[in-house]
Chains A and B, each alone.
Chain A
C-alpha cells in the first residue's frame, strides 16, 4: 500500500508530476552530458597510454602527459635500463608536436607518434583502412578518419608535408581522438625522428621508453632499480602516468573542474526542483498524512510513502532522462568531443538520481515529522 499511495499521490496532480519529472530529466541529462564529456575527455587523454602493454614508463623529469614527453631521452638511458635486472624490453616511443602543412595551403598542429610495434612497444589501434604494414611503407603515416577534413586530405594516398618531410596517408583509424585537438599522426620510429628533424642532430632522441618486465620480476624492485640508475629520468607505472596525464589536462587546465562543476550544478538544480515539488505535494496531502498518523501509523511508514514518491519520480525521471542522454551521446559520436556512456556511468547516474530524490524528500519528511495528528479534527 505504501507504493500504491505514493504512486497515487504522485499521479494525482499531473502538472506537478510533469514539473518534477522535468527537474529530474534536466538534471540527469546535464549530469550525463557533463560526466559523459568528462569520460570522453579522459579516454582521449589516456587512450594512447592505455594501448601500450608496458608496465613502466621512463619519461623525462616532469613530463606532464603523453604529448609532453619532450625529446630528451637518449640511447644511454635505454642501455642503462636494459641492463637493469628484471627488465625484458625497453622500447623507444617518440611523441612531439609538429606542423602539418595542408595540401591546399595553411597548416595545423599535429602530434607525431613514432613507434616500432614489432619491438613490442606501442601500436595504433582501430584501423579501418590499411594496416600498420602499409604505414611502414615509404612516407607512410596513419591518421584518424575524423580528422581528414582538418588535415585537408580525402583519404588513403593523399600526401602532405609534416615538419621536415613528406608523408602519405597509408592507413586510416577510427575512434582515435585527441583531447588537444591536434590530430595524432602515427608512423614508424625512424620516420618520426626524420619528420621532427632529429635524425640530423640527435638521431636517438626519444620521448619515452616503454619497459616490459621479465616474467616473475617484481614491479617495485625493478622500478626502484631503474630510478637509482636513471638519474635524469622518471620511472612511472602505467597507472601513474595515466593519472598524471589526466590531472594535467583535466584539472590543471580547469576543463575537468568545469565539467564536474557543471554536473554538480545540474544535480543541485534538479534537487531543488524535486525538493520543491515533493514539499508542495506533501503539504497538499498533509491531512492524509495526519489521518495516517491518527490511524496509528509510525512516522517511518509516512516517511516511506514520501520516499516512495521520491523513488518513483527518480525511476520515471531516470528512464526519460537516460533516453535523452543516450540520444545526445549518439548524436555526438562523430564530433571532436564525443560523449561516452558506459554501463558503469549509467548505474552511477541511477544511484545519483535516487540520492538526489532522497535528499529532495528530506524537506517533505521534516514537514511531515512535525505533523500533529490532532489536525484531523479541525477539518
Chain B
C-alpha cells in the first residue's frame, strides 16, 4: 500500500477571472501524492499553492488537465459528485481551523462523520478515538473559543482523519501557531502519514515545517520549479531534531 499513488494531477492549467483581468494561476502542473508520504508544497505568495490545493481537493475544477483521486477521474463531474469524492477520499485542514464555534471538540469531529452518513454511538466513539489520538482526550466537551490555537488545529486534524481519507490536504496548518504548537501539529501530520499510511500534502511557506517532509515541491508563477526528497534512512523526528541542533550550534 505504501507508495501507491492516491492523488494525481496531470498537466493542470487553471485560469482565473475573465477578459482583461484573466490570469493563469497554474500553467501545466503535474504531481502525484503517494500513500504514507508527507509532501510540502512551498512557494511565495501568489505562486498558485492554494489554487493547486483547491484543485487537488476537488473544490475547484481545472481549466484543463486531469485530476485523479484514488483512481477516480474527476473530469466532467458535477459539484455534487465532486463533493462525494471529497467526502469519500479527502480530509481537509485549514489555516484558520474552520471549526464550528457552537459545537464542542467532539461534535466538531462528529460532524465530519455525520456528513458521510456515519451517525450514532459508533460515530461518537470514533470521534473520541481521533481526539485522543491527537492528544485531546481531556478536551472533548470544550468549545473552540475555550481552546488554544494549537488545540484547535489538533481538533481540525482529528476531524480530517476521522473519516480515514486517502489524502489529507492541509492549507498553512502552522501559520497561526507558535513554534511549539506548529511543531506538534507537523509531528502529528508526519505520524499520521506514516502510521496510517495516508498521503498528506501541506501547503506552507513556513520553513520550520521542512524537516517533517518526505518530499518538498516548490511552485512559482503557477509552475513546479523544483522538488526535493528527504535523504533515505532518516525519519521526520530525526530530521527535526537535527535541524534544532544545527540552530543551537549556530
Contact = CB atoms under 8 A, between A and B. Distances in A.
B102 A5 contact: yes
A1 B60 contact: no
Contacts of B159: 295
Interface string B81-102: 0011111101010111010111
B115 A377 contact: no
Interface residues of B, number: 34
Contacts of A297: 83, 87, 115
B74 to A, nearest CB: 13
Contact of B114 (A1, A8, A9, A377): A1
B86 A8 contact: no
B8 interface: no
Interface stretch (A90-98, A109-117, A286-294): A286-294
A167 to B, nearest CB: 71
B110 interface: yes
A296 B100 contact: no
A101 B177 CA distance: 92
Residue among B60, B100, B101 having the largest count of chain A Cβ atoms under 10 Å: B100
Interface residues of A, number: 25
Interface in B23-50: 50
A113 B110 CA distance: 71
B90 to A, nearest CB: 7
A96 B133 CA distance: 88
Interface in A132-180: none
A1 B124 CA distance: 11
B151 interface: no
Contact of A295 (B60, B101, B112, B171): B112
In order of increasing CB-CB distance, the 4 nearest A-B pairs are A296-B87, A8-B102, A296-B86, A1-B114
Interface of B: 50, 53-54, 57, 59-60, 79-80, 83-88, 90, 92, 94-96, 98, 100-103, 107, 110-112, 114-116, 119, 159, 171
Given A296-B87, A376-B92, 16 more contacts: A1-B114, A5-B100, A8-B100, A291-B100, A292-B115, A296-B86, A296-B88, A296-B116, A299-B79, A299-B83, A374-B54, A374-B60, A376-B98, A377-B171, A379-B95, A379-B98
